[in-house]
Amino acid sequence: MHNPSHPLPHRFARPGGLGFVSYVVVALVVLWSLEGAGWSMDRLLSSPPKLADFFSRAWPPSTHNLDRLAWKMVETLQIAVAGAAIGIVLSLPIALLAARNVLVGRGINQVVRVLLGFIRAVPDLAWALVFVVAVGLGPFAGMLAIAIDTIGFCGRFFADDMENTDPGPAEALTATGAKRIDIAASAIIPAAMPAFISTSLFGLEKAVRSSTILGLVGAGGIGIELKVGFDLFDYPTALTVILMIAVVVIGVEQIGAVLRQKIIGTAR
Amino acid sequence: MPLDRPGLRRGVTQGGLQVLDLQAKELAKRFGSGAPVFSGLEFSITQGDCVALVGANGTGKSTLLRCCLGLIAPDAGEVSLLGEKLTDLGGAARRALRARTGLVGQKHNLVPRLSVLSNVIHGLLGRHSGPRYWMQGLAPAEARTAAMATLTKVGLADLALRRADQLSGGQSQRVAIARALVGNPRFLVADEPCASLDPQAGEEVMALFMSLVKREGVTVLFTSHNVQHALSYGDRILGLQGGRIAIDAASADVTPKEMAQLYA
């Protein structure tokens, strides 16, 4: 039984002055953003009939060009796999330079991390536009865009993974006189390998998602079919492309989850 | 059980002078703006000696061990290890010196996803650099042979290809000892090597560790919260209290009461 001499504690802590101001500021920023994003309840409420009209015109999905669309989807996966593979391989040496206390000093760590931040800050579609200019239209530009996007993603997380490994093995090898490169290769990278695999699988999933829309800017893959479908009001074909993208992306995510579970025993 | 009699001084001499493997002068260390962990520490260790560093939690034993190996820089004072001042050494010279030292930690510090044999071969990285020493599958025959011989000494040759994260605590610590010994070090530091083991495994590991290092003539500086271990295996006791050395005497001359006062 509760001792009545002690009052029951509050269910929730009251926010302090600073906490209260923070809540208000966050709420104001969200409202301001909604206004900037053109929030319109009228337009939102009027959209279901238009959506229903689209689906009525798009259904059933077209199967006329299934062969061509399937090959475009294969090309999309090739862009994703090739770009992700190159990106993952190149990420490792870059991450070694970005990780603190692994190979190089703080100055180089910071420069490399800023560079990785810049790569991540530029959207994959923008990279695709840049590479279309550099190497011309087609899947090669898309693959390069995926590769650089993967470097930005995996490079940063590989570096974080290495920094988060247990420092004990590295210290034990340091005490035997091992060089930094030997410590990185023998102790830090093997310890971070489960995290690398997990990050790489996320990188591949991200690459597959990105590669499906690179065609919008002429960088190969099935995205161009989506654009053409909408441009020509061929909604059944557009719906087929959307469904194919959904199946492939969900499939790759499921395979990634299974692989993560099998290889590292955790579904991070 | 210890192989040597407690309190036996085994220090190596040259021309009547004792060879000092470690000399610490006026060592001081603090972290951030806090109180000093220790200050004004002075002691030396003769070649072949086995010295137990004891003291309550937070007295800076682990920090002092790392200062002695140059893994942490002291704020003041200097350390001479195997006749060389650590502050005078550049990167390559420091690594060459460390190739003659080793560290056994309380957490074993093995690379979990690699084999036992690969972990032991890593103990040779101070003398041999490069991919051939990164894992046992790439290692030259002489490295594999040396590692297997050391694993035999610690009784784990039959587990050479087992992953390190599939070992028991006692087995892991034996592998860590093998890794520290495979390069034939002259000076070893052991930071509470039995702290993470149950009493039985701790007893076995400590007895094995001490029998091996004494057989090989390795100079040892170890910490332990187990007073009996310190008195049994240490030729000499260094007791830290309040950031100072409160005891520096042969273990045979230290009374249980003096030891108890360190933890008061």
The confidence score (pLDDT) of residue B14 equals 59
Does B239 fall in a domain? yes
The confidence score (pLDDT) of residue A158 equals 95
The torsion region of residue B217 among left (phi > 0), alpha (psi -120 to 50) and beta comes to left
Q: Residue A263: is its pLDDT beyond 70? A: yes
Does B166 fall in a domain? yes
DSSP B115: B
In the numeric block, the tokens 């240490």 are attached to: B234
Residue B87: CB atoms within 10 Å: 12
**Do the Cβ atoms of B71 and A174 come within 8 Å?**
yes
Give the A window 188-247 contacts with B, CB below 8 Å. 190-191, 193-194
Does B237 fall in a domain? yes
Determine contact: A65 vs chain B, CB below 8 A.
no
Q: Residue A120: is its pLDDT beyond 70? A: yes
The confidence score (pLDDT) of residue B227 equals 85
CATH number at B232 reads 3.40.50.300
The confidence score (pLDDT) of residue A58 equals 85
Mean pLDDT of A170-193: 92
The confidence score (pLDDT) of residue B198 equals 81
Query: Are B76 and B26 within 8 A, CB to CB?
Result: yes
Calpha distance A244→B200 (Å, rounded): 62
Determine contact: A116 vs chain B, CB below 8 A.
no
pLDDT digits (tens, 9 = 90+) for A59-84: 888 888 888 899 999 999 999 999 99
Q: Residue A215: is its pLDDT beyond 90? A: no
The confidence score (pLDDT) of residue B5 equals 35
Which stretches in chain B have pLDDT values below 50? 1-9
pLDDT digits (tens, 9 = 90+) for A2-31: 666 788 888 887 878 898 999 999 999 999
Determine contact: B207 vs chain A, CB below 8 A.
no
The confidence score (pLDDT) of residue B1 equals 37
Calpha distance B48→B181 (Å, rounded): 15
**Do the Cβ atoms of A166 and B135 come within 8 Å?**
no
Residue B4: CB atoms within 10 Å: 14
Does B28 fall in a domain? yes
Does B142 fall in a domain? yes
**Do the Cβ atoms of A193 and B113 come within 8 Å?**
yes
3-state secondary structure of B165: helix
Calpha distance A75→A215 (Å, rounded): 11
**Do the Cβ atoms of A173 and B129 come within 8 Å?**
no
Query: Are A207 and A85 within 8 A, CB to CB?
Result: no
3-state secondary structure of A10: coil
B71: nearest CB among A171, A183, A190: A171
| Structural domain boundaries, residue B100 | 13-262
Query: Are B147 and B125 within 8 A, CB to CB?
Result: no
Give the B window 86-105 contacts with A, CB below 8 Å. 94-105
Please tell me the distance in Å from B219's CA to the nearest CA on chain A.
15
Q: How many structural domains are present in chain B?
A: 1
pLDDT averaged over every residue in chain A: 89
Return the closest-CA partner of residue B20 out of B93, B104, B85: B85
DSSP A188: I
The confidence score (pLDDT) of residue B13 equals 59
For B184, name the nearest residue in chain A, comparing CA atoms only: A176
User: For residue B25, how far is the Cα from the chain centroid?
Assistant: 20
Q: Is the peptide bond before A60 cis (omega within 30 degrees of 0)?
A: yes
Residue B151's alpha-carbon distances to A171, B180, B220, in angstroms, are 21, 11, 20
Calpha distance B40→B178 (Å, rounded): 34
Does B41 fall in a domain? yes
**Do the Cβ atoms of B122 and A194 come within 8 Å?**
no
Position A35 confidence tier, pLDDT thresholds 50, 70, 90? very high
How many Cα atoms are found within 13 Å in the side-chain-facing hemisphere of A86? 14
Flag the least confident range among A194-208, A222-236, B10-24, B205-219. Answer: B10-24
For A263, name the nearest residue in chain B, comparing CA atoms only: B113
The confidence score (pLDDT) of residue A2 equals 60
The confidence score (pLDDT) of residue B7 equals 38
Q: What is the identity of the amino acid at A94?
A: I
The confidence score (pLDDT) of residue A97 equals 95
In chain A, what are the domains? 69-264 (1.10.3720.10)
Q: Which residues of A touch B183 (CB under 8 A)?
A: 176
